[in-house]
A and B are shown apart, each in its own frame.
Chain A
Amino acid sequence: MVKGLLICAALIGLVFLACHAAGFRESTSVLSGTYTGAGSVMSGLLYAVTSMAFEIVTPILVIAAGVLFVLKLAFTALGRK
């Protein structure tokens, strides 16, 4: 599970970085109703969603992985006792 959470976090990060590298940040002007060209609605919304996922969900996944790892260690230690 810990590994799965970290893979998820990495995937979100990769998708966001790909959107950023593709220049989709420019297209977020759709949020103010200003269209920059064909496909700008999709690329703008995709950037907004992945950016917020990267800033909100990714850290939660990473922290949860850490907490889970510590809890598992604690339970394993308790089990041995």
Chain B
Amino acid sequence: MKKFLLLQKSILAVVAFAVAAGIWLPSVHLLFKPNLDRYVSGEGISPKARALAARHLALWSDPELRAGEIAKMRQNNAEWDFMARTFFVLALGNMALREPEARDQYLEIMDAIIDETIRLEEANGAHYFLMAYAKYGHFRSSDGRSLFVDSEIALMLAVRRLVEEKEAYKPLLAERVEAMVVYMQESPVLSGESYPDEAWMFCNTTALVAIRIADVLDGTDHSDFIDRWLEVAKRELVDPETGLLVSSFTFAGRPKDGPEGSSIWMVAHNLLLVDRAFAEDQYRRAKDALSASILGFGYAREWPATWAGPMDVDSGPIVPVLEISAGSSGMALIAASAFGDRTYLSSLLTSLNFGGFPIEKDGQLRYAASNQVGDAVMLYAMVLGPAWAEVERRGGGSW
């Protein structure tokens, strides 16, 4: 009798847990599901973007606070310091186009970031913004410059000038664009190295965007170079399994890492100003290979199932089994926003609200689980659009 009662209790417990899990697990995402209009907005600046921007504006207005945040990032990765600047400047450029009445305020901060970044590069060399291993090898290109640094500084200058012309930045952009085009053409795959004998698709497509914007601003024409780059990349730098552009490769064009989430989402977004049809193709393929959702929580893998890659500073921590990558999921926000994929964007933001541990205080928003570069990426994802549209408008259509 005792055994029967115990069995009955156990069955009841299992049934109770099954019912409870069946009710709660499919519903829990609803607690974190965003009202998308509070995050992205067709016109103006959404409330969440404004709160996220307020945090960054406060950092750039308070040298002590900024120094503390930058020190935390540089302790782990000097690239993050640099990329936080780039994404924040890109975000501010879009915000200035969205909110012309606040343009002067945004331009002032953009200029402060750009000037300080160039000053630091001049004072310490490009290595200041690179990881330490950049010192342990030789660049194959003749002038040994890093496209990681050149492309992002060029893009910052270009977007700033897109918002409003600044004479002092004209030669700075032109010189950097010409330098990039020269050393990219030294490579058989027309691609510049970010690190010695290590080229990244992220940086090369960022360079192409900067070159495209410079052409629109200054009336130069690098369309032949861009067309040749596309032809070579489609032929030599595509992973045969997924059809996605590989993330890194040697100076000679030998792929190192396969398609990588933390890279391909930005690449697809960049390609919108280079080859729209190819950009859409890459986004569709990246979604097929890397995006996933569990119980309403969207995320992105760092590596497709067909490629075994490591967990590194780009991927961020990867949750085993599900292969959830913080780095890839963050960058996926940019692509989902750029391609108007509101369903995926909403599911990614649901995960961000769950695992990003947002802190809203005094009108400022930040994600505790993130850092300054992560938050800058999210801000950019929330406000992007107008700058690329402006380039297309002035360039007379899409490419």
Whether A68 contacts B16 by the Cβ 8 Å rule is yes
Interface residues on B, range: 20 to 34
**A71 in contact with B15 given A33-B313, A34-B76, A60-B24 (CB within 8 Å):** yes
Q: Which residues of chain A come closer than 8 Å to B9, judged between CB atoms?
A: 1
The dominant DSSP class at the A interface is helix
Q: Is B398 an interface residue (CB 8 A)?
A: no
Most-contacted residue by chain B among A32, A34, A60, A64 (CB, 10 A):
A32
Whether B72 contacts A36 by the Cβ 8 Å rule is yes
Complex alpha-carbon distance, A75 and B317, angstroms: 48
Whether A33 contacts B77 by the Cβ 8 Å rule is yes
Nearest chain A CB to B19 CB, angstrom units? 5
- Against B, the Cβ 8 Å flags (1 = close, 0 = not) of A5-45 are 00000000000000000000111110111111000000000
Whether B370 contacts A63 by the Cβ 8 Å rule is no
Report how many residues on chain A are interfacial, defined by Cβ distance under 8 Å. 31
Whether A25 contacts B357 by the Cβ 8 Å rule is yes
Which residues of B line the A interface, CB within 8 A? 8-9, 12-13, 15-17, 19-21, 23-25, 28, 31, 72-73, 75-77, 313, 316-317, 326, 354-355, 357, 359, 368-371, 374
Given contacts A34-B73, A65-B16, A71-B15, 17 further A-B contacts (CB under 8 A): A1-B9, A27-B368, A29-B370, A29-B371, A31-B316, A32-B326, A32-B371, A33-B77, A33-B317, A35-B76, A56-B25, A63-B19, A63-B24, A64-B13, A66-B20, A71-B16, A72-B12
Which residues of A line the B interface, CB within 8 A? 1, 25-29, 31-36, 47-48, 51-52, 55-56, 59-68, 71-72, 75
